[in-house]
Structure 1
Amino acid sequence: MAANQYYMQSDGIELLRAYYQNPSVKLRNELVQMHTGLVRKMAHKFSYQCNEPYEDLEQVGYLGLIRAIERFDPSQGYAFSSFAVPYIRGEMLHFLRDRCTLLKIPRRWQELYNEGQKVRKELALTLGRPPKDLEIASKLKVSPQEWQQTKLAAQNRMPLSLDATVIQSIDCQITLGEALPCHRSASLQQQHEERQQLQGAISMLEEKPRMVVEMVYLNEFSRKDAANKIGTSPMTVTRYLQKGVQDLVSMLKTQAVPAG
């Protein structure tokens, strides 16, 4: 019981380290159980914003959680929860996108609508005015009701604005543009991971090189200002920068080597 409490308090970091060093289904399942709250919270949030069952969203969310567990590197120094949430949310959005397929109308209605547009133009020329729906239906030899249904179905297939809200709640909304597949999503996820990886590597530098790297590259200090801040010379700042960059390159290269 004490061990479980320790894992929960530390975001399960020891268990995550154990899985990273020696992956197994048993450890992965323990980690999934430990972090079910992340999935359930996100599933509840989405279930209030759409018509999909909570249970379906929860199951999809676990796929994202498993992906996060398999890709998390505990040596980077950031919380697992902040790493996992984008994966869980991403899987749920993929699920919702797949459920929102384009509306398809019967082939007969498609053909009837196209024919109706031709008839509309012909009648407009003949009558010298826009034809009425009753006249178009008569020319097509269909009932006015069928022509109205055909027109309505065709209108419902028209493109919507990407800013149109498809999921909305008091504190959150998802637009059509966000719900559509995005070719950049994988790239953005990779950038997010690389940024976290870099931040973790910077935190592992020796104190002075770390301070100088953060001041010059992250906070855009000049080397002179950085030197004044830590009480040294600009030349020493340059040496710290060189060492910090070399150590970062070395650490990131090591992390990029595939395990096994």
Structure 2
Amino acid sequence: MALDARTGINTAREGKQLPDVDPSSVSPRDARELSKLFFERLRTLEEGTHEYQYARNTLIEMNLSLVQFAAGRFRNRGDGRLEDIVQVGTIGLIKAIDRFELSREVEFTSFAIPYITGEIKRFFRDTTWAVHVPRRLQELRTTLAKAKEHLAGELDRDPTVAELAAHLRIDEEEVIEGLIASNGYTAGSLEVPPSGPGDQQARTRPHAELWGEEDPGVELVEDLLSLAPLLRELDERDRTLLSLRFGQEMTQAQIGEHLGLSQMHVSRLLSRTLAKLRTGLLGQT
């Protein structure tokens, strides 16, 4: 294949035609030389033509070994998504091919690797956090992790917030913000029992059963749903009284003045109406 590749290169340069190449059979060494030929021809072709697509697609397939190489550096990230990493790295390779120019006098390999690794790092930044946080805090988390490791080695203990701030020459508030944001990188399951000291029975029950409490608002909603049909049965005057007393929070004296009634009369009417509603609710239960 190496000999055929070299022959193809010579023929292509003489006849200005691209050779028929099986990209999967081209070695990385031959791919480097063939890529120069394809890039040289690509810049003279009209975008959208069949020959342009052939040249571009062949360049992509011939240089997939660069993606495999770059993806291998992220193999031990613990995500188990090497296939996804390769797909994302391929996007970086395509961007590099579309932006590469032979006039730069730079090897395509040196030009493409930063594009590929940059795309992979962006993928991890955008998808591996359990909770989305701003990019500034994501980068601060990495900086803080390195600083903590460095200072822990020097101090033989975990550094304080003040020591981290002094080492990084940033405000303590910014350090605290970064440490809090770090909690969003991973998330635990509510179905996992808590660890550490505590009641033995509690440690056998998942977090979902131990956290939270009854929401009093739920019972209120149920009461309101039960109350709605009873309110519709009241006459307009009684509904107006309830609206002024409990909706607008007016006093009985203010209601009496508003409706032209005595405060005592208002009190009797409210007591009667509330007793009627209470009886209706108790009857339902």
The TM-score, its normalising length taken from structure 1, stands at 0.39
Higher RCO, 1 vs 2 (CA within 8 Å, ≥6 residues apart): 1
Larger radius of gyration: 2
